[in-house]
Amino acid sequence: MPRLLTVAGAQLGPIQKSEPRASAVARMVRLMERAHQRGAELVVFPELALTTFFPRYYHADVAEADHWFEAAMPSNETAPLFAAAKRFGIGFHLGYAELTADKRRFNTAILVNPDGDIVLKYRKVHLPGHAEFDPKRTVQHLEKRYFEVGDLGFPVVRAPLGQLAGVNVGIMICNDRRWPEAWRVMGLQGVELVMLGYNTPSMNTSAAGFEAPHLRVFHSHLSVQAGAYQNATFAVAVAKGGSEDGYELFGHSIIVNPQGEIIAQAASWDDELIVADCNLDMCMLGRTTVFAFDKHRRPEAYARITAQVGATEPPVWSKPA
Ligand code: CDT
């Protein structure tokens, strides 16, 4: 019997600044119902799925942004998601801004099973953007202001999902997908399904230079497809899309197989489900051949990966005397 899991990516259209959480949650519950009708056993929602992508807004006092954060999970406002999971017998992945009891702030995502247990929690490690207001930018990207660097590493857990007794699942968030280190740390834990939510603007508005808009989607897909292939895992990469109060997010959610092929892709910038039957046995080909890590990896040659952060200049070549 193949190890089959039917997975849905639940892309969200824009969430305006004025849209209350209750409204976003109602949209998400509708997507869970439709996912269930289409046979999905797991629904993946985007990064910071309950609100607009608030790191574009500057608050001098960080605590003024706390209304964008969740101090409890579930809360009264998010409880309908947990109830829907139980009603439809479906697991879900949710990205949200987490405010801890001791006032620490993280960009977090969780995997919840149909019983309402939080099976896995991840806090974003690679925070893009900047910590201070940048007058040169047309849009701020203040993740470094509002969030601490995640302190949970890149955990993978073997958990029952759908009809399967155990699936190796991991979570990364948005910018993490661009970093091969994140994928490999999960690959080294035998991950079979990476869930990742993102909010990526269509334009790179950093003052550092022009980036052609069509390359933005290319780089996103390139990163997810390479990460999945090189670590022999499925990946579900789910976006918010469309214009949030005039700021465009590029959508293009995808599900990718362990060969790096896109097997489902969103075609709108609205609330949209993409669904794929994932045969997890497909992970075996890569991990027993080209990417049989135990046979082929050479960690003794990789010391720089953990010893060094920034790039250094190489030695200058000179002609032997
Ligand atoms: N949310 C998030 O991490 N967004 C970033 C934008 C960075 S611009 C290259 C991302 O990597 O998509």
The best mutation among 175, 211, 253 to test binding of ligand 1, ranked by most ligand atoms within 8 Å of the C-beta, falls on: 175
Give the span between the Cα atoms of 226 and 222, in whole angstroms. 6
**C-alpha 123: how far from chain center:** 10
Is a pLDDT exceeding 70 seen at residue 266? yes
pLDDT in tens, 101-153: 999 999 999 999 999 999 999 999 999 999 999 999 989 999 999 999 999 99
Give the span between the Cα atoms of 269 and 248, in whole angstroms. 10
Query: Which residue's C-alpha comes closest to atom 12 of ligand 1?
Result: 200
What is the pLDDT confidence band of residue 248, given thresholds at 50, 70 and 90? Answer: very high
Catalytic, 174? Answer yes
The pLDDT of residue 226: 99
Give 129 Cα–ligand 1 centroid separation in angstroms: 8
The pLDDT of residue 161: 97
Cis peptide bond prior to 74, omega within 30° of 0: yes
Give 216 Cα–ligand 1 centroid separation in angstroms: 10
Catalytic, 136? Answer no
The best mutation among 134, 174, 206, 223 to test binding of ligand 1, ranked by most ligand atoms within 8 Å of the C-beta, falls on: 174
User: Contact 280/23 with Cβ under 8 angstroms?
Assistant: no
Query: Which residue's C-alpha comes closest to atom 11 of ligand 1?
Result: 175
The pLDDT of residue 157: 98
User: Contact 124/175 with Cβ under 8 angstroms?
Assistant: yes
Catalytic, 124? Answer yes
Give 315 Cα–ligand 1 centroid separation in angstroms: 33
Give the span between the Cα atoms of 155 and 171, in whole angstroms. 7
The pLDDT of residue 212: 86
Q: What is the pTM of this model?
A: 0.97
Give 298 Cα–ligand 1 centroid separation in angstroms: 31
What is the pLDDT confidence band of residue 205, given thresholds at 50, 70 and 90? Answer: confident
What is the pLDDT confidence band of residue 210, given thresholds at 50, 70 and 90? Answer: confident
Percent of the chain with pLDDT over 90: 95
The best mutation among 199, 240, 247 to test binding of ligand 1, ranked by most ligand atoms within 8 Å of the C-beta, falls on: 199
The pLDDT of residue 207: 67
- Over residues 281-300, mean pLDDT: 98
Cross-sheet strand order for the sheet of 234-239: 156-161, 164-173, 193-198, 234-239, 254-256, 262-265
- Over residues 220-242, mean pLDDT: 99
The pLDDT of residue 206: 79
What is the pLDDT confidence band of residue 211, given thresholds at 50, 70 and 90? Answer: confident
Is a pLDDT exceeding 80 seen at residue 18? yes
Question: Mean of the per-residue pLDDT values for the chain?
Answer: 97
The pLDDT of residue 26: 98
What is the pLDDT confidence band of residue 67, given thresholds at 50, 70 and 90? Answer: very high
pLDDT in tens, 177-194: 999 999 999 999 999 999
- Over residues 287-310, mean pLDDT: 98
